């Protein structure tokens, strides 16, 4: 323990002066009807405000997961029960007008009984996971469009694609990833991906028997990380943490928990400075109450930095069921389901600078109680931008490679990090663009839809194609990326080649821009060993040409599309 705390102190060694932030959260119980509340509180525990008490029944009860910012002043969320079918609801809370509104009822058709999940915004709508329901009773992927008010059952899970999905979807390179708790070839759960372009869900990996992933997925670079409450070694089965790299469908069991070493039943994790911080709901050095710890994904080592002692010090809290959030200045924040002065749970902080645990607030019933799977939200954190990319394109001109994008945001501040690659695999940052530096569309408060432009005129001798993407960090500190834009640099008079979906499940969508006369485009798809899989000769007209290439016969793996003297790598799932 002492070595662990010393290592953390060295890693986060700057002065422990923390910015005052406003947090939003929910509890599953307490309030006027004892079925949950929405609240706000400062990051030091001061200025607690009860914003709404759920009424139960058709109004919804027992909220779960985190509140999700919309493109307005509203926060959106889910409940596990209540509504017309008692399967939960989707709701909004307007932080400006202080108005709560039920938006849609969840049920058998859409999926219901949300397993600790939250809504996630992608393109023009929210996505969520129903643990049960759907045509096969195995759960669903659903969407909700706040502009039209339409709730859609996007996909009904099957035994092959897994059953009982937990947590939320995670957006990575324009695809939506999630884990199903059971089902699959080994009945141990499935790693799935939803392709919004093709409209398909694909089984990427079958977890081992009895593994049962049961958390949100977190990303560091292009790797997904999650937790299982029942995985691990055959003897203990106290839970485990895992990684999954979609590019090669590679799974790793990173760490197996025990009651003493690490704790029991790990939560999802929060990525911070390359480490994965999480909690366990029980166990630890004091054997009863749970732990805070972190995993180094490179060494696969786990370090326990705090252990609750519910038997001897219940007032400090105990039994956290949800992952923490971490501020930019290294303050870890979370909630426990029990403990405190009324055994209704607490809000706490753990200072990663000073290795200090502080109880910030007791839930006593009237102000909420038992925040089981509820996660705190930091919507106003400095340099964290709740941004949604609407469009990202590029064009070769005489001035250089001109990149244009449109994005929506709810508040001022933050930036876009522009990255470039010459092989579509290894990207490096080349510049940052302030989110407030829009050419138009933002309000005086910095909210709205903004348009941005950037010209990259750096010489790239010997390079045929330059690849670009935008890197963003959302309010939950999950890193995400825009689509990849490919710009041809040959002497063909400004022509460009672009593969729309570099993660292919069935059809590859190709765009070729030609400024010359009509001709043909010779397209080849080869494996990493040089073997030829696809060869087509496609007609070309002046302007933008769009093609659909059938890749369903390709085995899973990495391939190279060759055309117009350029090469673009893609992954077939």
Q: Which of 64-78, 172-186, 356-370 has the highest mean pLDDT?
A: 356-370
Of the given ranges (237-241, 356-360, 533-537), which has the lowest mean pLDDT? Answer: 237-241
pLDDT at 441: 45
Q: What is the mean pLDDT of residues 446-470?
A: 79
Q: Token pair of 196, please?
A: 């919004």
Instruction: Kindly report which listed range (84-98, 280-294, 370-384, 550-564) carries the lowest average pLDDT score.
Output: 370-384
Q: Is the model's pLDDT at 394 over the cut of 90?
A: no
- The whole model's pTM is what? 0.69
Q: What is the pLDDT of residue 500?
A: 79
The three-state secondary structure class of 314 is helix
Q: Give me the phi and psi of 5, to 5 degrees please.
A: -65, -35
Whole-angstrom Cα distance, residue 241 to residue 245?
A: 14
pLDDT at 567 over 90: no
DSSP β-bridge partners for residue 252:
243
Average pLDDT score over residue span 539-552:
85
Q: How many residues does the chain have?
A: 573
Report residue 404's pLDDT band, with 50, 70 and 90 as the boundaries.
confident
Q: Look up residue 77 and give its two tokens.
A: 């969320």
Domains of the chain (ranges, CATH numbers) = 383-489 (2.60.40.10), 495-573 (2.60.40.1930)
* pLDDT at residue number 261: 67
What CA–CA distance (Å, rounded) separates 451 from 408? 9
Cα(221)–Cα(113) distance, rounded to whole angstroms? 31
> Residue 417's closest CA among 487, 470, 459?
470
pLDDT at 236: 64
**Tens digits of residue pLDDT in 239-250:** 899 999 998 999
């Amino acid at each position: 323990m002492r070595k662990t705390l010393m290592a953390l102190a060295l890693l986060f060694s700057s002065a422990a002066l923390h910015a005052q932030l406003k947090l939003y959260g929910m509890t599953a119980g307490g309030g006027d009807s004892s079925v949950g509340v929405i609240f706000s509180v400062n990051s030091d525990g001061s200025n607690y405000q009860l914003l709404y008490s759920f009424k139960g029944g058709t109004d919804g009860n027992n909220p779960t997961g985190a509140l999700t910012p919309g493109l307005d002043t509203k926060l959106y969320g889910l409940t596990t029960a209540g509504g017309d079918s008692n399967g939960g609801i989707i709701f909004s809370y307007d932080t400006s007008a202080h108005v709560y509104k039920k938006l849609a009822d969840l049920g058998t058709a859409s999926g219901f009984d949300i397993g600790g999940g939250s809504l996630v915004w992608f393109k023009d709508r929210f996505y969520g996971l129903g643990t049960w329901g759907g045509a096969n009773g195995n759960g669903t992927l659903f969407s909700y469009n706040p502009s039209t008010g339409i709730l859609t059952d996007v996909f009904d899970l099957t035994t092959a694609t897994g059953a009982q999905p937990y947590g939320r979807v995670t957006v990575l390179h324009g695809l939506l990833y999630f884990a199903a708790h059971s089902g699959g070839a080994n009945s141990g759960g499935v790693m799935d991906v939803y392709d919004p372009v093709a409209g398909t869900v694909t089984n990427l990996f079958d977890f081992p028997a009895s593994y049962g992933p049961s958390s949100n997925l977190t990303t560091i670079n292009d790797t997904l990380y999650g937790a299982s409450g029942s995985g691990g070694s055959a003897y203990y089965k106290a839970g485990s943490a895992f990684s999954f790299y979609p590019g090669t469908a590679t799974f790793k069991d990173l760490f197996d928990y025990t009651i003493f070493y690490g704790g029991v039943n790990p939560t999802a994790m929060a990525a911070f400075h390359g480490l994965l911080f999480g909690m366990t709901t029980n166990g630890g050095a004091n054997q009863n109450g749970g732990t805070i710890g972190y995993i180094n994904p490179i060494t696969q080592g786990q370090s326990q930095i705090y252990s609750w002692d519910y038997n001897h010090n219940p007032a400090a809290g105990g039994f956290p069921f949800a992952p923490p959030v971490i501020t930019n200045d290294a303050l870890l924040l979370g909630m426990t389901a029990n403990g405190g002065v009324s055994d209704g749970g607490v809000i706490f902080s753990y200072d990663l600078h000073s290795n200090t645990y502080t109880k910030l607030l007791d839930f006593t019933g009237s102000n909420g109680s038992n925040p089981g799977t509820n996660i705190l939200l930091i919507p106003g954190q400095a340099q964290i931008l709740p941004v949604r990319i609407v469009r990202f394109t590029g064009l070769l001109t005489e001035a250089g490679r001109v990149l244009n994008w449109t994005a929506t945001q709810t508040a001022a501040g933050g930036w876009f990090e522009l990255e470039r690659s010459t092989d579509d695999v290894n990207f490096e940052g080349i510049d940052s663009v302030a989110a407030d530096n829009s050419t138009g569309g933002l309000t005086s408060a910095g909210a709205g839809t903004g348009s941005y432009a950037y010209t990259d005129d750096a010489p790239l001798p010997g390079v045929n194609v330059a690849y670009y993407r935008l890197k963003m960090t959302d309010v939950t500190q999950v890193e995400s990326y825009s689509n990849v834009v490919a710009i041809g640099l040959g002497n063909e008079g400004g022509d460009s080649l672009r593969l729309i979906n570099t993660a292919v499940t069935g059809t590859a969508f190709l765009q070729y821009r030609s400024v010359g006369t009509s001709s043909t485009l010779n397209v080849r798809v080869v494996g990493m060993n040089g073997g030829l899989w696809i060869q087509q000769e496609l007609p070309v007209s002046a302007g933008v040409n769009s093609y659909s290439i059938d890749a369903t016969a390709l085995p899973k793996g990495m391939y190279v599309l060759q055309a117009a003297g350029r090469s673009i790598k893609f992954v077939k799932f």
